[in-house]
Amino acid sequence: MRSRSGWVVITLIIALLTAFGAVSAQESQYIPAIVDFSADIDSVTLNAIDSGEASITLSWYIINVVPGQRVTVDSWRANGWIPAWPTEGDIPAIGSQTITIADTQSFAPPTYRLTLYSGQNIVDQRFLTIPLNESTGTPAIAMFSASQDSVAEASVERGNARVVVNWSVTERPVNSQLVFDQVMPDGSQVNAELPRTVYYVPSNGVGAVAPVNPGAGQTGVQLRLTLVNVISGEVYATSDIVVPFTGTQVVPTGGTPAPTAVPLPTTEATEAVTMPETTSEAIPPAVEATTAPVGGPIIQTFTVTPAAVPPGGSVTMTWNVLDATSVQISEVLPDSASGLTYVQLPLSGSVSVPLPEAATTSVTYRLVARNAAGIEVSAEQLITVGG
């Protein structure tokens, strides 16, 4: 038979365990957690994204957030995460935000990430993916042109020639890719693309290709852009341009001189990808190829348009960089905390982004390119904010 003191000890232990369980149960009700992360659309087409007409309202609901914890909303871009929209201050635990759906610069559909941090530790995280629907229209290469009238034959023969091209695609199918080739005199095709960190090519953009020597007796190089399905190999559309050697004129069969470049459209949909060969005061000049240290990256072009933007507007950043392993573009604001930094960008691309909310007078966009040896070059474009 247990002694009276033994029963007292057991009773105390049971009481303590019961009290601890009650406290634990009570505390468990206040653990921070993401309850909801959703969108107001179920799907979107690439054509709507490429035209800049697709928008999405993200909504989230997080409970039991305590001081010192922070909320972030990111979107997938190229091969990494960037903030889904420019923001000043903290993102609330319960809220919503309407944004334009940006090109993911990859084969991935629009994907968003909601994260609750405590310091650098993740407390809870949720992902949201918007499936891609096929467009109903016919895929087409709306524009493919060269931004230069000719290319030096000697540089082509040496293998260091570069031709900057512009392109725009409409009604792009899911899982399709743009391929840049050079058509040789015998009809065969040689890939003319330069190395890049991201395989996917945006539907609208500007970039450099590297033509090879087409052989003796040729008067120029013929470049071809192909829109193709990467899984089935189906070719949706092709477009060719001819860039003559400097001092020569390409004359096709029939004796009529061929144009050196396809005329650039002037619609709003393609203004963002037009190389500013002839600029007006409203468009800043492109950054010329930088003089970099030996073995360093080269910024061939970097433009931000338009040059003057009203508060709350958007700009289009277009760039082309050679021989770099990383490219990033930062927003620098005068007399204020800096804006976003877009990291892990492809070597060439074109993307529309909103102005920082804190921008009231100007924004400087600074592109920094770095290679594997750590050699770094940079270029800047100043945009005026007002009106």
- Residue in 174, 103, 179 with CA at minimum distance from that of residue 141: 179
Domains 33-133 and 298-385 share a fold: yes
Q: Using 50, 70 and 90 to split pLDDT, how confident is the model at 272?
A: very low
Q: Which residue has the higher pLDDT, 296 or 368?
A: 368
Query: Which residues is 327 bridged to in the sheet?
Result: 369
In angstroms, the CA 20 to CA 128 distance is 38
Lowest-confidence segment of 19-33, 110-124, 251-265, 344-358 by average pLDDT: 251-265
Average pLDDT, integer, range 112-130: 96
Average pLDDT, integer, range 124-149: 94
Contact partners, residue 111, CB within 8 Å, separation at least 6 = 75, 76, 104, 127, 128, 129, 130
Residue 182 confidence (pLDDT): 97
Could you report how far apart the first and last alpha carbons of the chain are, in Å? 92
Per-residue pLDDT tens over the stretch 32-59: 999 999 999 999 999 999 888 899 999 9
Domain ranges of the chain: 33-133, 140-265, 298-385
Average pLDDT of the chain is 81
- pLDDT over threshold 80, residue 197: no
Residue 267 confidence (pLDDT): 30
Question: In the numeric block, which tokens belong to residue 159?
Answer: 């293998």
In angstroms, the CA 32 to CA 61 distance is 11
Query: Which residues is 44 bridged to in the sheet?
Result: 132
- pLDDT over threshold 60, residue 19: no
Average pLDDT, integer, range 183-201: 88
**How buried is residue 345: exposed, middle or buried, by Cβ count under 10 Å (0-12/13-18/19+)?**
buried
Residue 235 confidence (pLDDT): 97
Average pLDDT, integer, range 169-184: 96
User: What CATH class has 298-385?
Assistant: mainly beta
In angstroms, the CA 287 to CA 271 distance is 18
Are β-strands 69-77 and 111-118 bridged in parallel, bridged antiparallel, or unpaired?
antiparallel
Residue 55 confidence (pLDDT): 94
Query: Which residues is 117 bridged to in the sheet?
Result: 70, 122
Residue 1 confidence (pLDDT): 54
Average pLDDT, integer, range 221-238: 96
- pLDDT over threshold 70, residue 269: no
Residue 147 confidence (pLDDT): 82
- pLDDT over threshold 90, residue 63: yes
Residue 222 confidence (pLDDT): 96
- pLDDT over threshold 60, residue 22: no
Residue 26 confidence (pLDDT): 56
Lowest-confidence segment of 33-42, 158-167, 282-291 by average pLDDT: 282-291
If one counts every other C-beta atom within 10 angstroms of the C-beta of residue 245, the result is: 21
Per-residue pLDDT tens over the stretch 291-332: 444 567 889 889 998 888 888 888 888 888 888 888 888 888
Residue 273 confidence (pLDDT): 31
Residue 18 confidence (pLDDT): 56
- pLDDT over threshold 90, residue 170: yes
Question: Per CATH, the architecture of 33-133 is what?
Answer: Sandwich (2.60)
Residue 262 confidence (pLDDT): 31
Residue 375 confidence (pLDDT): 83
Distances (CA, A) of 365 to 49, 347, 381: 23, 16, 5
For residues 350 and 205, the answer to whether their CB atoms sit within 8 Å is: yes
- pLDDT over threshold 90, residue 117: yes
For the domain spanning 140-265, the CATH number is: 2.60.40
Lowest-confidence segment of 33-37, 165-169, 180-184 by average pLDDT: 165-169
Average pLDDT, integer, range 256-264: 33
What does the H/E/C string look like for the chain?
A: CCCHHHHHHHHHHHHHHHHHHHHHHHHHCCCCEEEEEEECCCCEEHHHHHCCCCEEEEEEEEECCCCCEEEEEEEEECCEEEECCCCCCCCCCEEEEEEECCCCCCCCCCEEEEEEEECCEEEEEEEEECCEECCCCCCEEEEEEECCCCECHHHHHHCCCCEEEEEEEECCCCCEEEEEEEECCCCCEEECECCCCCCCCCCEEEEEECCCCCCCCCCEEEEEEEEEECCCCCEEEEEEEEEEECCCCCCCCCCCCCCCCCCCCCCHHHHCCCCCCCCCCCCCCCCCCCCCCCCCCEEEEEEEECCEECCCCEEEEEEEEECCCEEEEEEECCCCCCCCEECCCCCEEEEEEECCCCCCCEEEEEEEEECCCCCEEEEEEEEEECC
> Among residues of the chain, what percentage have pLDDT more than 70?
79
Residue 288 confidence (pLDDT): 42
Average pLDDT, integer, range 220-247: 95
- pLDDT over threshold 50, residue 159: yes
